[in-house]
Structure 1
Amino acid sequence: MKALPPLLSNIIEWLRAGYPQGVPETDYIPLIALLRRRLSDEEVREITAALVDQGDLPIGKPDIQVMIAKVTDEKPLDADVDRVHAHLVAGGWALPDETPIDESH
């Protein structure tokens, strides 16, 4: 796997901190929706591929494109996005669109 740019690596670290046991299936789509607020589809693909490769997102690579298409075609429920947002904030992690991510790491 190729090395990710610092911003994407920092987002992966942020996600791991928010989901230390991995991302539950019910949070995949809302999480991608949150990421797409600040990232391009290609960046979201890179992040999800890295999470799959490293076992943090227990799906297959073909499923990544399906998930991104679902977010593009069918907006996730606000309640689901709010639940994921609250989960990450409760863990002490501001979302990327709320606080700039430090790219210096």
Structure 2
Amino acid sequence: MGEARGSIGFFATYRPPVPLDVYSCPIPPASKQDELHMTDGDSYNYDAQVIPPAALKTMLKRPKLASEATASDVDSGRVTGMIMVSERTHNLETLHIALRFNDDTPKVKV
């Protein structure tokens, strides 16, 4: 069986009246606490994509991310990532990377 892939597509002809957020959870989730907020809760966020492991390993070599995790963290499933478009400052659309750390207490760093 091939690699499981997924994405979330979003399109609107107008800006909705409330900000949109992105969440993640393991499949299948064991409880509601498995669902983690991948965004800041204030901004408009859309077009989220899971970062493939090979690409995530390459990204983790960048100086800003190198201290966050290693390639072995990706291989073990401790770290996964998503990339999304987010409007955070003056309606400027920028790409943001969210890393999910699947430790005893899962956490997200954007």
> TM-score surpassing 0.5?
no
Task: State TM-score, norm by structure 1.
Answer: 0.28
Task: State TM-score, norm by structure 2.
Answer: 0.27
RCO higher in 1 or 2 (8 Å CA, sep ≥ 6)?
A: 1
The structure with the largest helix share of the pair is 1
Bigger Cα Rg? 2
